[in-house]
Structure 1
């Protein structure tokens, strides 16, 4: 099972984990990202291009299943207007062994941050708003997977 979804609606991380649990593996790993409220952030808005975003998410999920012996992978990324504390991203993996599930999960979140096109705007309590620039730290995290020989 490989799923990659872009949606406005909230997701239930617990329900997604149960779906991965039922695949019969020995390990399930997950990451749930929440909107931070740093610096008085009041709104986080995400735009995307459906014709680009969905295929890019699917491609990194398929890359993970080729690299690790996964039984399943679920990627969910929300778009639209979100508030601090809202869940924004879910990545879950299932495998016969914990190492594959954990490594694939880390790989997927790193690649999701760099290889999938989202445009993010932050709005703050003082009315200031700006589009978020790509972060060098995200590029470094994603690059570490290209440096590893499997």
Structure 2
């Protein structure tokens, strides 16, 4: 009888843990937030990077600065592989589902214009960031 009650108690604890624990794979995915949608760009010394965020698709393009020649083929993240989750303080994590290839983006005002603030403060980047401007 004691073994049976312990088994039931253990099953309830494990079941409760599975129900309450956050699961990335089961998060609401496949749709980007409306605050992040649109065409965005940022310039480096050599390239112009363009990010197009649609409801169920993200496209990354890289162009050589001042010539508009495409440097790399387009990179797509479609609905089946799209991860999107609000993480607090205005930040959204969007990127590739079930991987660490996600970006922390926050819509902010900069000089009176809407921009996307991308925080790069992970994996040795310190407190660097990228400002994505409207295209």
Normalised by the length of structure 1, the TM-score is 0.22
Relative to its length, the structure with more strand (as a share) is 2
Q: Which has the higher contact order (CA 8 A, sep 6+)?
A: 1
Question: Between Structure 1 and Structure 2, whose CA radius of gyration is higher?
Answer: 2
TM-score normalised according to structure 2 size = 0.24
